Structure 1
Amino acid sequence: MKFTKLAALLLFVSVVSAQSKEGYWDNVRSTNETLGISSGKRKSIKTADFPEGTTEIVYRISLLDDNQKLSSSLVSVLKAIPDPTGISQGSAGAIFLLSTITGSDKCKYAVFTNEKDALEYEKSGVLKNACIVQDNPVNKEAKLLSANSKCLAARTKNLWFVFESTNWVMNEKVVLEVVPWIDYKLSSGWNTDTKKEVVSLCKSLDVTSSVAKKDLFCGVFLDMITEAYSYKDFKSLIQQERAKVVESFSEKALIKTGETKALVVSAKNEALQLFTKGKKQEAINLLQNTLDKNNSGVAADYNLLGRFYLLTRQFDKAMEVFSIAQQKDAANLAVKLNLAHTYLFKNEFSKAKEIYKQYKNQNISANVSWVQQTKADFQEFEKNGLNNSRFKRVLNIIE
């Protein structure tokens, strides 16, 4: 006998203290209203706003006599029921949903998803588009409404209850309690549609065009955004904040998916555009910082950075970067030609001459010879104010 009592006590404690990892009953944004209804009349009431992530609601209706009070609120009763399945499956917790104290009065009621239909019913008694109609007078009632019910299917933010008194002599007192169940994941505001917005944003990024596994990259990017922000907070970011967040998470996603080369490619393209527009130092800083943070830069990436330094008369830095490029690819003739140019501008002509002469009969690429590229480079240098009296001498050596 003692064992039975102890087991029952432990069971009760486990039910009361149980908590769900999937969601919670929101006792802060619940509805608890007492209405006075004149005899034979109807009266409507709007629930509190249902929070983001509401997937079910429980409502309880209790009619009380003048001196009666509820023994316990619906919120306190639901503490013993860890999740909506405890109600929908008719578990022990559901027995206690109904109020143990009720009066002798009864009422009819209907539930609506919009105010217009509710007010029309309140004034004229014409029922239109009600999601619940209780035509049999009751003095107490409790129900669970799930996401697939008519009342919640349209993701409504409120419900309107309209009560009709069946007491033709005295006024009635109706207590309405509504408690929403909040799904942790959905409360963030992220659903299929909102997630698609982030995926579209990811696919529109310049860096994504250089990524090999685009779906994987955008999937990781999506996870990072949804873990860090609710949908509402993400949408509330001002343009500058959002740009910073997107840049940060795209870089992290590239690293996590092993696509850091795409980051370098994107930075290189952007740096070229900046340099062409005359924002030369900005271009240099962007490419230099990107290469410093990533180990995936190849000879061509460092060759471009060295070229930027060369065209802005930063010859020592150019030499340093071209040397790194040569370590990445010792056979890259574009790098070797830029090294020769740098020696020329540093007035180390003998070193420059040796390189110019050594490769004069080779091609930089399939369609461009060493001589052709040298002439094109000298023209670009002169266009950028980089003149050197030994240009003609070099051309005489290689032609």
Structure 2
Amino acid sequence: MKKILFACLLLSGASFGQNATGFWDKDRSFTKEIKLKAGDRQVVAVTDFPTGTTEFVYRITVLDENQQLSNNLFSLLKSIPDPSGISQGAAGGVFLLSKVNGSDKCRYALFGDAADADKFQKTGTLKNACYAATDALSKDAGRLFGKNFSCTAKKLYIGVESDNWLFSQKIVLEVVPWVDARKSSGWTAARKKEIIALAKEGGVANKMLQPNEFCSCILEKISAQYTYEQYTELLAEEKMRLYSKSGSLCLSQKESNAGILAAIRKDVQQYIDKEQFEKAISLLETTIFEYKLQKTEDVNSLARAFIFSKQFDNALQIFAANPSLSNVETKILHGHALLLTGEKQEAVDKYKSVIKQQVSSKISARKLIESDFAQFAKWKEIDTNFERILSKLD
């Protein structure tokens, strides 16, 4: 592999246009001084990079006996808030290079795979190296990007080879990772899908036809509270409580529930249209009514589901709990509940109060009453002359 001058390596980084907000991770920076025997090769495994590492800066310095570095690599990097600042020109390369170095030189290579590093140590082969300095150097530094170099995976191996066939060498190896703050939580796309899939198995989501927005909200709550690593350390019982609590927040907090409530109402209407009334009731009761978020349309939907599943007393309780509603459909449904529980005159009074009005732009009160009566007439256990009731409304 061709030797790439440090300044050129840095200059090439400018074209990537990295603007990610992150930090140099001091706690996971790596420094090691090794002694390399004459003509020998050695491989050093760098501490695992933290989650969210997208690149790193390294420095290799060959020292004479008793020499020490005047500044460690992190102390130089901490004044550069963004790694792209290193790419402003050759001066950045000089800035990172050691102020001291010995007269001895070495060659080095960077690997992302242990097997490739092992082959280098045994045979000197540079196959699959992320980067290799084939010309002997007394000092060098560089910056590698995740998109272009495999070394920004979880592991880095530095292989060094002595250029002195008579004496041992003292070499200082330094690596500092740059952690992208947005990726440091560990929530990859695959892991997010894992959470959404689990959320869909939960109580509320399992009752919905289209639970995606609700489950996405649960993911948002969980990922904001925990890193993925922290999440994996939770017990199964803790995860269940976390999903339940997150789901409750998604339903109760106004900043996140508008789209979710719209999806619930749409699902409820689909259940009613398919005459799956128990599903409509269960979904409404465990979401909108549980969190006291009901509007007139929700009262109407629940009442209709109760009436058409022949739970007339439950329907009456809904109207008793919402006495101030004067919606046309509400009065019609209230009339139905009264009629089907034997209160015919009260039912007629309810119908008459709205008979000349529109339920919506598409259907009049009379048409809705007639349509509902046509369904009631199919129930053999209901002994009511619906035609006679209709005649009283004129």
TM-score with structure 2 setting the length: 0.70
Q: Write the letter of the residue equivalent to 1:118.
A: A
- 2:246 equivalent in structure 1: 245
Secondary structure of the structure 2 residue equivalent to 1:337: helix
- 2:75 equivalent in structure 1: 76
Offset from partner CA, 1:151-198 (integer Å, 9 cap, x none): 44xx51111111111222222221100001112222233566666777
Q: Write the letter of the residue equivalent to 2:131.
A: I
- 5+ long unaligned stretches in structure 1: 1-19, 380-390
Offset from partner CA, 1:129-155 (integer Å, 9 cap, x none): 112121211121111112343344xx5
Distance 1:23 1:183 in 2: 4
1:364 to 1:99, Cα distance in 2 relative to 1, 3 A: same
- 2:105 equivalent in structure 1: 106
- 2:292 equivalent in structure 1: 292
Asked whether 1:181 is paired with 2:178, we answer yes
Distance 1:365 1:397 in 2: 13
Map 1:202-213 → 2, pairs under 5 A: none
Map 1:156-171 → 2, pairs under 5 A: 156-171=153-168
Asked whether 1:370 is paired with 2:373, we answer yes
- 5+ long unaligned stretches in structure 2: 1-18, 356-365
The alignment yields a C-alpha RMSD, in angstroms, of: 4.7
Distance 1:106 1:219 in 2: 55
Offset from partner CA, 1:60-118 (integer Å, 9 cap, x none): 11122332222221111212222212221137554331222222221111111100011
Secondary structure of the structure 1 residue equivalent to 2:289: helix
User: Which range moves more in the overlay, 176-185 or 124-133?
Assistant: 124-133
Distance 1:398 1:295 in 2: 30
1:233 to 1:310, Cα distance in 2 relative to 1, 3 A: farther
Secondary structure of the structure 1 residue equivalent to 2:376: helix
Map 1:298-337 → 2, pairs under 5 A: 298=298, 300-304=300-304, 307=307, 311=311, 313=313, 317-321=317-321, 323=323, 327-330=326-329, 333-337=332-336
1:398 to 1:105, Cα distance in 2 relative to 1, 3 A: same
Distance 1:73 1:117 in 2: 28
Secondary structure of the structure 2 residue equivalent to 1:45: strand
Give the deviation of 1:54 after TM superposition.
1.7
Offset from partner CA, 1:200-221 (integer Å, 9 cap, x none): 889996788669xx99x99888
Map 1:255-266 → 2, pairs under 5 A: 257=258, 260-266=261-267
Offset from partner CA, 1:206-248 (integer Å, 9 cap, x none): 788669xx99x99888766655554555666655233543564
Asked whether 1:351 is paired with 2:354, we answer no
Offset from partner CA, 1:262-281 (integer Å, 9 cap, x none): 3344467789999849xx9x
Give the deviation of 1:291 after TM superposition.
7.3
Distance 2:136 2:263 in 1: 69
Q: Write the letter of the residue equivalent to 2:346.
A: K
User: Which range moves more in the overlay, 296-305 or 31-40?
Assistant: 296-305
Give the deviation of 1:290 after TM superposition.
4.7
User: Which range moves more in the overlay, 136-145 or 263-272?
Assistant: 263-272
Conservation of the 8 A alpha-carbon contact between 2:106 and 2:137: yes
Distance 2:373 2:63 in 1: 98
Conservation of the 8 A alpha-carbon contact between 2:251 and 2:257: no
Distance 2:245 2:267 in 1: 16
Number of aligned residues: 354
TM-score with structure 1 setting the length: 0.69
Map 1:76-155 → 2, pairs under 5 A: 76-90=75-89, 94-152=93-151, 155=152
Q: Write the letter of the residue equivalent to 2:59.
A: R
Secondary structure of the structure 1 residue equivalent to 2:54: strand
Distance 1:49 1:288 in 2: 48
User: Which range moves more in the overlay, 293-302 or 52-61?
Assistant: 293-302
Q: Write the letter of the residue equivalent to 2:261.
A: T
1:398 to 1:68, Cα distance in 2 relative to 1, 3 A: same
Secondary structure of the structure 2 residue equivalent to 1:169: coil
Secondary structure of the structure 1 residue equivalent to 2:297: coil
Give the deviation of 1:374 after TM superposition.
5.2
Conservation of the 8 A alpha-carbon contact between 1:322 and 1:338: no
1:36 to 1:246, Cα distance in 2 relative to 1, 3 A: farther
Offset from partner CA, 1:354-389 (integer Å, 9 cap, x none): 669999xx66567x462651562x73xxxxxxxxxx
Give the deviation of 1:341 after TM superposition.
2.9
Distance 2:271 2:384 in 1: 36
Conservation of the 8 A alpha-carbon contact between 2:110 and 2:130: yes
Distance 2:308 2:321 in 1: 10
Offset from partner CA, 1:306-325 (integer Å, 9 cap, x none): 6499838558624415756x
User: What is the identity percentage for the equivalent residue pairs of Structure 1 and Structure 2?
Assistant: 31
